[in-house]
Structure 1
Amino acid sequence: MISSKLFSSFFQSQTSGGIVLIFCTIFSLILANSPIAQSYDAIWLTDMFGHSFAHWINDGLMAIFFFLIGLELKREIFVGELSSAKKAILPVFAALGGMAVPALIFFLTNKGTDTISGFGIPMATDIAFAVAIITMLGKRVPMSLKVFLTALAVIDDLGAIIVIAIFYPNPELPFDFTQFGTSIAILAGLFVLNKLKVKSMILYIVGGIAVWWFMLHSGIHATIAGVLVAFAIPFDKIDAKSMSAKMEHALHLPVAFVILPLFALANTAITIEGGGLAHFSIPLASGIFLGLVLGKPIGITLFTFIAVKLGLCDLPTAVNFKRVFGVGILGGIGFTMSIFVSMLAFSDQSYINEAKLMILVASVTAAIAGFIVLKILLTTKQDYSD
């Protein structure tokens, strides 16, 4: 089936891509704290057509990443884990819990401070990292658990996109209704082309770039255009060679091995200074750490439990609440999306650096803890009635 083939391809690319991200992050941190730190930073500050290299990565290449997320969401809605209400309820509830509880924890720890705007940071889950970690557990991981994690992370990304669109406009530009209206008009045109069954890929590519360009100058963050354009691309749930499927397949490798690694290199060049445990006394840092490491597994497990006990859905085969909790811990690997949100949430570079550092600490903690917990659970005889 088209859905199983696309999922297999998606899962494999996310696995290897996550491993590449880990190495890029370590490499970037080493260089940022080495004698050549200034030269390394200068690479990302290099001017390119009026903007820095890092700016083009974050506002340009990341739009392609969000476009791929949009294609994946569309596929899941038509033929995947979100293709029916019964299938979608469990991961939707889990994702809602995984966003609400971390945001609440951050709000409570940062209430009354000027860092309260960072509430969206611990709401995100990094699919690539989370999938890479669960894959390291090998064949002992049931496919149903992998699918649950992937669907949960995809919905989580959708939630993060909505949060970005509503709460984090482009900090460099005031809202421009004319530019925004032009972007939406072009987007509407793409949907009309889809409705008329126009199959010219070049028209959608040119139109998509135009939507991104006008969105970029409207004050709404341009990466949102990537998701919106994805839903205008023709999709056929029967034809594995539909335009949407072709684009998704074509983008997996460049996103996993070029775009996300560049994002990691450009945005994890953090100078690690002393302070140690003192960082946890800072509301911003403690809110992020507690939100990701504790809020994620608690929220995911709690909302999953509520959905099942209300009779809205059933746990998949070979999945119980203990394993849901283990997956929830992996949900605390925020990384890409969390770092992205942190750069939108603050204009003060010191806040951004503190947020990035704690995102890394929390993500590593969640990755190690999730791996250990799931390894123990997956090597123990399970009672799936619990």
Structure 2
Amino acid sequence: MKKRTAYSSVWNILNTNKVLSNTGIVLLITVIIAMLWANSPWQGIYQNILKTTISISIGNFQLTEPLLLWINDGLMALFFLQVGLELKREILGGKLSTPQNAILPIGAAIGGMVFPALIYYIFNTSGEASQGWGIPMATDIAFSLGVLALFGKRLPTALRVFLVSLAVVDDLGGVLVIALFYTSGISTMDLFHAFLFFGLLIIGNYAGIRKTWFYAIIGIGGVWLAFFFSGVHPTIAGILTAIAIPGRVKINEAIFLQRLAALHTKFDEEKSVKGSLISNSQLKILKEIKVTSSEAETPLQKLENALDPFVSFIVLPLFAFANAGIHLHGKVFEVLTHPISLGIGFGLVFGKFIGIVLFSRILVFLKLAKLPKNINWYQIYGVAFLAGIGFTMSIFINELAFANEEFIYTAKVSILFSSLIAGIIGSIILIKNQKLKTV
């Protein structure tokens, strides 16, 4: 049992890294396309596409919003649903399930959020500009894992696990920041309705409801819509829905294997018909096998696996396409030396590094945590810089933090340049560490 669990955990980690690294490549291509398009003679077409209004009508109810908002507020809720599912899985049976494994990435993530925010605030202490302190706190898990994946098997799996765990906790921190600080005009009645629907999901969980459609209908039609109208950002609905989705199997491994063996024997004993068809009795047995297999799966993991390709290759690339198309105008040097830009740049590149390394060093020094096997401090330094690739989450928070279009533009330019610098520095450190090993 332990050996099988260990092998499946390693397989899940490797499979996750493969998907995330591929996502990082797709995101990079999407960003390049968006940037080229936004700075071409056809930039007007790009802007018009994002302003296209899309309506959903059910009876007298109608919701009409531009495509950009449907992507940022609607589709990104699915991204946060996936983040919530991943976090819950890690807490229930993954790398965050034991205090010894969880302390280091959680502590590193906290340090990597606190220091960037403080550094940003040093440059922007007042006015609307001060609202952007949450922007450099974020880590783009897909991009950072994509860069790390370029090193292939030359880096230990434990280092990837550390970065994934850190980034997942970082994403949760980003969600809390959005929920607590980037909301406005809260409607208490709509918020009450949201938690009412959330309570219904919890009851469904405890009642043993395992159908994905139940959680999808109430999660989207209830929790998401209520949050949308409440003033609290609707992406929070994704996290709450994930919390409510069952993370336990209906039958344990022993019962599953017993039933499967019995059904296998029963299938063999049935007489098959001529040709390529099977008998009706065998067909019924196969249906029983499907039901049994479904009972041995958790709805949480089933939904997470189903969401992975959609979120990785549709939701995130669409978000990147819609938000990374920055039309570079004015003097770029002046933009990059603006206090907002400096706060984000120093926060992502140096704040992330200082916070992650300092908190990790303190936890290891106090013997509250220890470095994972086969990992050295130079590799932690490299990963700490890679965590400064803020892209997706940073741009997301940027859209919520500012109303001033120039501030949004300045922040986006800084996020792109800073994420690039952080990625390059992190890669150089990891390359040098590899050379030191081979000397």
2:310 pairs with one of 232, 242, 254: 254
Cα offsets for 1:305-352 (capped at 9, x unmatched):
000001101111121222111100000000000000000000111111
Cα offsets for 1:190-226 (capped at 9, x unmatched):
1111112111222111111111011110110000100
2-side partners of 1:29 and 1:100: how far apart?
Answer: 31
**Counterparts in 2 of 1:67-82, with a 5 A limit?**
67-82=81-96
Checking the alignment, whether the CA contact within 8 Å between 2:211 and 2:299 is kept in structure 1 is no
- Residue 161 of structure 1 corresponds to 175
- Residue 35 of structure 1 corresponds to 41
2-side partners of 1:314 and 1:378: how far apart?
Answer: 22
1-side partners of 2:11 and 2:228: how far apart?
Answer: 34
**Counterparts in 2 of 1:1-386, with a 5 A limit?**
1=5, 2-49=8-55, 50-169=64-183, 171=184, 174-209=185-220, 210-236=222-248, 241-381=297-437
1-side partners of 2:330 and 2:95: how far apart?
Answer: 45
Of the structure 1 ranges 258-267 and 194-203, higher mean CA displacement relative to structure 2 is found in 194-203
2-side partners of 1:142 and 1:274: how far apart?
Answer: 45
Instruction: Output the amino acid matched with 2:203.
Output: V
Task: Report deviation, 1:137.
Answer: 0.9
| Number of positions where the alignment pairs a residue of Structure 1 with one of Structure 2 | 380
2-side partners of 1:118 and 1:105: how far apart?
Answer: 11
Checking the alignment, whether the CA contact within 8 Å between 2:117 and 2:137 is kept in structure 1 is yes
1-side partners of 2:298 and 2:189: how far apart?
Answer: 34
Unaligned runs of 5+ in 2: 56-63, 254-295
Of the structure 1 ranges 229-238 and 368-377, higher mean CA displacement relative to structure 2 is found in 229-238
1-side partners of 2:201 and 2:332: how far apart?
Answer: 52
Moved over 4 A (4+): 237-240
Cα offsets for 1:73-113 (capped at 9, x unmatched):
00110111100111110001100110011001001111134
Checking the alignment, whether the CA contact within 8 Å between 2:212 and 2:303 is kept in structure 1 is no
Of the structure 1 ranges 101-110 and 319-328, higher mean CA displacement relative to structure 2 is found in 319-328
- Residue 279 of structure 2 corresponds to none
2-side partners of 1:8 and 1:255: how far apart?
Answer: 18
2-side partners of 1:208 and 1:378: how far apart?
Answer: 46
Cα offsets for 1:160-202 (capped at 9, x unmatched):
1110100001x5xx21111111110110111111112111222
2-side partners of 1:64 and 1:114: how far apart?
Answer: 29
Task: Report deviation, 1:26.
Answer: 0.6
- Normalized against structure 1, the TM-score is what? 0.96
1-side partners of 2:178 and 2:335: how far apart?
Answer: 26
Checking the alignment, whether the CA contact within 8 Å between 1:308 and 1:314 is kept in structure 2 is yes
1-side partners of 2:158 and 2:367: how far apart?
Answer: 19
2-side partners of 1:94 and 1:356: how far apart?
Answer: 25
1-side partners of 2:13 and 2:205: how far apart?
Answer: 24
Task: Report deviation, 1:264.
Answer: 0.4
Of the structure 1 ranges 276-285 and 259-268, higher mean CA displacement relative to structure 2 is found in 276-285
Task: Report deviation, 1:4.
Answer: 3.3
1-side partners of 2:397 and 2:82: how far apart?
Answer: 18
Cα offsets for 1:104-124 (capped at 9, x unmatched):
100111113430000000000
Task: Report deviation, 1:274.
Answer: 4.0
1-side partners of 2:207 and 2:435: how far apart?
Answer: 53
User: In structure 1, the residue corresponding to 2:128 is in which secondary structure?
Assistant: coil
Checking the alignment, whether the CA contact within 8 Å between 1:298 and 1:325 is kept in structure 2 is no
2-side partners of 1:168 and 1:4: how far apart?
Answer: 37
User: In structure 1, the residue corresponding to 2:36 is in which secondary structure?
Assistant: helix
Unaligned runs of 5+ in 1: none
Q: What is the Cα-based RMSD across aligned positions, in Å?
A: 1.5
- Residue 282 of structure 2 corresponds to none
Instruction: Output the amino acid matched with 2:424.
Output: I
Checking the alignment, whether the CA contact within 8 Å between 1:305 and 1:321 is kept in structure 2 is no
1-side partners of 2:375 and 2:12: how far apart?
Answer: 23
2-side partners of 1:202 and 1:114: how far apart?
Answer: 42
